[in-house]
Amino acid sequence: MTAFEIKDYTKLMGMSGFSETLLKNHFTLYQGYVNNTNTLTDTLNRLRKDGKGATPEFAELKRRVGWEFNGMRLHECYFENLGGKSPISPESRLAQKIHQEFGSYEEWAQDFKATGAMRGIGWAILYQDLTTGQLLNVWVNEHDVGHPACCVPILVMDVFEHAFITDYGLKRADYISAFFQNINWSAAEQRMKS
């Protein structure tokens, strides 16, 4: 199995509302998820090849893969949907779908921001249900639980403290505002399936 590679997101350096320290720390955290995913995959493959697939060690490591893998992928989605400098184009497929599902961009944004502002650590994610095409704003506590089945993340906002506390302290609303000023809408729209 090919190892997962750490992606370079240094192009985000200098992004308004995100300090270099915050971004460097966040990139380091992401790199840990990639490294841990690779380590777990290698260890599980070795255990399986050694005939230890039914051991408690194998089972516990297998359970851990979801945390590390989803931490890796969600951070990739998060970083990739940052770095934008323009508001969403009202003519875009995503804007039209948001309007169709929520009544207006403003109604969707209010709901997404409220989702991200909820107490606790986790993620605010705009998903698209692959069965119906419907858009859903969802709160996910932990990387490995709470994801709606058969849905693809369209827009991902990290609301674990590491994503904002260095720059904003406990002012999560200010971080969410900075996030919205930096959304790369074309990256989010490319994730849409219909």
Cβ-based neighbours of 52, under 8 Å, separated by 6 or more? 58
Q: What is the per-residue pLDDT across 77-98, written as a single tens digit (0 to 9) for each? A: 999 999 999 999 999 999 999 9
Q: Tens digit of pLDDT for each residue in 102-149?
A: 999 999 999 999 999 999 999 999 999 999 999 999 999 998 889 999
Instruction: Provide φ and ψ at 31, rounded to 5°.
Output: -60, -35
Listed by start position, the domains of the chain span 19-194
Residue 194 has pLDDT above 80, yes or no: no
Helix (H) or strand (E) segment spanning residue 127: strand 123-129
- pLDDT(169) > 80: yes
User: Which CATH architecture is the domain 19-194 placed in?
Assistant: 3-Layer(bab) Sandwich (3.55)
Beta carbons of 117 and 137 less than 8 angstroms apart: no
End-to-end Cα, the chain, rounded Å:
31
Band of residue 165 on the pLDDT scale cut at 50, 70, 90: very high
- 38 Cβ neighbours under 8 A, 6+ residues apart: 3, 4
Tell me what the mean pLDDT of segment 136-164 comes to.
95
pLDDT of 144 reads 87
> Which long-range contacts (C-beta less than 8 Å, at least 24 apart) are formed by 164-167?
164/22, 166/19, 166/21, 166/22, 166/25, 167/17, 167/18, 167/19, 167/22
**Closest Cα partner for 112 from 121, 125, 122, 94?**
125
Cβ–Cβ under 8 Å, residues 118 and 84 = no
